[in-house]
Amino acid sequence: MDTRATGPKLQFDPDPTKYRHWTLAVEGEVARLTMKVQPFGGANSEVELKSNSYDLSVDIELADAIQRLRFQHPSVKCCVITSAHDKIFCAGANIYMLAASTHPFKVNFCKYTNETRLAIEDASQHSGIRFLAACNGATAGGGYELALACDEIVLIDDGSSTVALPEVPLLGVLPGTGGLTRVVDKRKVRRDLADAFSTLAEGVKGKRAVEWGLVDAVVPRSKFADTIAQRSRDLAAKAPQVDRGPGIQLDPIGEYKHVTLKVDEKARVAELTVRAPQGDVPKNAAEALPKGAQGWALRMARELDHALLRLRFEHENVGLVIVRTEGDRAKAHAVGELLAGPEKDSWILRETRLLLARALRRMDVTARSFFAVVDQKSCFAGPLFELLLACDRSYVLDADGVEVWPGPLSAGALPGWNGLSRLETRFLGDPQRAQKVLAAGKEGPIDAAAANRLGLATVFADDIDFVEELRVAIEERASLSPDALTGMEQNFRFAGPETLATKIFGRLSAWQNWIFIRPNATGERGALTMYGKPERPQFDYRRT
């Protein structure tokens, strides 16, 4: 990886008191998240982040702030996202940073920023927090894509500020954070106007921006602050009334307690182990609350999420992850019963479940092969059962004492990006089989032979063959083309219905993946390479 581009090791759980690029101010029901990117405060201090352009360090703080709104600021029902600059809302991802990055980093950068924007929409849909983009100046590229992730977009009407997606005309790449999809699929802008808009480097402003459906309102500078205040109150008033608070602190993750990530760089294989809770499992929300961020499920989900990010950004050569679980199946299962039980809509349980769902969806779009190993030690029970379903394959040992234990969480409480439960996706051809697995789990742990009959084992082998079969499978997988595997897994993980998210990850990012590596973008005279230079890019004009 190009270290000029990625700089020092990234810290994925920043300290909110030390944000460099954002300010989060909470006043009653309304929060204000203000962007002021420190030009030389990014991950790589040699890249100047001008005009509120962002790098990964900026987006990590944004993701962290959204997370903390849910857990630490229960009063908030509307969050205004705006800029501290006078004439610039946000210029999008920093182009020089992007142009200097490796291909894997570019793709993973876009993936992460997409997940952050989808987390904004998730908070709006499930946590009762509406988002208002107060675009108080030029709103371009990733800046407009950030606005698109909000529930409403208000643009200042100052004669010059526009919303724009200048990637195609200026950089020869696509808007990489869902812009094309959200324009036509979320805001449902007419496709010919979307075409005109996305090829207009200077963007669209004023009345036309409203007419085309690109923003919800344009407001002169003199009335901007008042309008934003009024609209944020309106949004707060209309936000879904869900249980909130009292709020807990999210402490730094530090050393993992429930997760181990062991990496064999030479074999290009990692082992991800997740352990069941050890102490008492809370029986209800009142018992869960005092545990705060130390509660097992919450902390495990945070560690899992963190480990996946480390895999993506720190171990790019690792192509295969062996997923193991350990510990007391009854306790893990009990956590699942709690998170999907009668008090599931209470704040702490709901947010824990939503966080776990996001971590699992992070796994679904991580470009690594995942093989689950189910043996005597393993604990695929309750929330951990979902790990088995998230894997590309499962190796189940045919032996006494090997059990899995699906619980009510797997009945739809942890949906994948396609909106279905992972059991539904797995048994797309025969939905009754998903029901049978759930019914069996209700009776108690499912032994290995039954798990195999129920369709939970890709490979089912006895003591004599198991180790060798797994060893060969690991070697084979690690030898295959990493590109072909990424493409194949993307197609298999998202069978069934399509959503905004599956379009973004499965389609838009695939086109971008291609375009990023084409000489027309990143070659010596490609548009991304030539950005900011006086010469024009040179294209191979063959259409494909």
Q: At what angle do helices 347-364 and 296-314 cross, to 10 degrees?
A: 20
Q: Is residue 208 within the footprint of a second copy (CB under 8 A)?
A: no
The amino acid sitting at 404 is: V
H or E segment and range at residue 134: strand 130-135
The span of 44-52, 75-83, 334-342, 514-522 binding a second copy (CB under 8 A) equals 514-522
The span of 88-96, 141-149, 242-250, 502-510 binding a second copy (CB under 8 A) equals 502-510
CA pair distance 169, 198, nearest whole angstrom:
8
CA pair distance 37, 39, nearest whole angstrom:
6
Q: Is the peptide bond before 74 cis (omega within 30 degrees of 0)?
A: no
The span of 15-23, 33-41, 47-55, 428-436 binding a second copy (CB under 8 A) equals 428-436
Among 430, 462, 468, 475, binds a second copy (CB under 8 A): 430
Question: Token pair for residue 258?
Answer: 């429930």
Q: Is residue 524 within the footprint of a second copy (CB under 8 A)?
A: no
CA pair distance 214, 216, nearest whole angstrom:
7
CA pair distance 109, 96, nearest whole angstrom:
14
The amino acid sitting at 5 is: A
CA pair distance 536, 147, nearest whole angstrom:
30
Question: Token pair for residue 19?
Answer: 């944000």
Q: Nearer Cβ to a second copy, position 185 or 447? A: 185
In the three-class reduction of DSSP (H, G, I as helix; E, B as strand; rest coil), residue 139 is classed as: strand
Q: Is residue 497 within the footprint of a second copy (CB under 8 A)?
A: yes
Q: Is residue 486 within the footprint of a second copy (CB under 8 A)?
A: yes
CA pair distance 61, 68, nearest whole angstrom:
10
Smallest distance, a second copy to C-beta of residue 527, A: 6
Q: Nearer Cβ to a second copy, position 134 or 372? A: 372
Q: Nearer Cβ to a second copy, position 123 or 527? A: 527
Among 332, 391, 420, 451, binds a second copy (CB under 8 A): 391
The span of 34-42, 218-226, 311-319, 338-346 binding a second copy (CB under 8 A) equals 311-319
Q: Is residue 449 within the footprint of a second copy (CB under 8 A)?
A: no
462 beta partners: 398
Among 300, 515, 529, 530, binds a second copy (CB under 8 A): 515
Smallest distance, a second copy to C-beta of residue 316, A: 5
Q: Nearer Cβ to a second copy, position 37 or 389? A: 389
Q: Is residue 161 within the footprint of a second copy (CB under 8 A)?
A: no
Q: Is residue 233 within the footprint of a second copy (CB under 8 A)?
A: no
In the three-class reduction of DSSP (H, G, I as helix; E, B as strand; rest coil), residue 264 is classed as: strand
**Separation in Å, CA 6 to CA 20, 438, 517:** 17, 44, 18
Residue 119 and residue 70 in contact, taking contact as beta carbons nearer than 8 Å: no
The amino acid sitting at 492 is: F
Q: Is residue 542 within the footprint of a second copy (CB under 8 A)?
A: yes
What residues between 33 and 92 interact with a second copy by CB under 8 A? none
In the three-class reduction of DSSP (H, G, I as helix; E, B as strand; rest coil), residue 260 is classed as: strand
**How many residues in the shown chain lie near a second copy by CB under 8 A?**
93
CA pair distance 154, 128, nearest whole angstrom:
20
Smallest distance, a second copy to C-beta of residue 87, A: 27
Q: Is residue 428 within the footprint of a second copy (CB under 8 A)?
A: yes
What residues between 347 and 386 interact with a second copy by CB under 8 A? 367-368
Q: Nearer Cβ to a second copy, position 282 or 416? A: 416
In the three-class reduction of DSSP (H, G, I as helix; E, B as strand; rest coil), residue 127 is classed as: coil
Q: Is residue 193 within the footprint of a second copy (CB under 8 A)?
A: yes
The span of 14-22, 40-48, 330-338, 498-506 binding a second copy (CB under 8 A) equals 498-506
Smallest distance, a second copy to C-beta of residue 481, A: 3
Smallest distance, a second copy to C-beta of residue 513, A: 5
Q: Which of 452, 484, 313 is nearest to 388 (CA)?
A: 452
Smallest distance, a second copy to C-beta of residue 136, A: 26
Among 44, 489, 501, 529, binds a second copy (CB under 8 A): 489
Spatial strand order of the sheet with 320-326 comes to 259-264, 269-275, 320-326, 369-374, 393-398, 459-462
Smallest distance, a second copy to C-beta of residue 344, A: 27
What residues between 248 and 277 interact with a second copy by CB under 8 A? 268
Helical H segments across 239-397, by residue range: 285-288, 296-314, 329-339, 347-364, 385-390
Q: Nearer Cβ to a second copy, position 102 or 260? A: 102
Question: Token pair for residue 474?
Answer: 């690991």
Smallest distance, a second copy to C-beta of residue 186, A: 10
Among 123, 180, 307, 363, binds a second copy (CB under 8 A): 180
Burial of residue 139 (CB within 10 Å: 0-12, 13-18, 19+) is buried
| Widest distance between CA atoms in the chain | 78
Q: Which of 104, 116, 178 is nearest to 141 (CA)?
A: 178
Q: Is residue 498 within the footprint of a second copy (CB under 8 A)?
A: yes
Q: Is residue 148 within the footprint of a second copy (CB under 8 A)?
A: no
Smallest distance, a second copy to C-beta of residue 456, A: 9
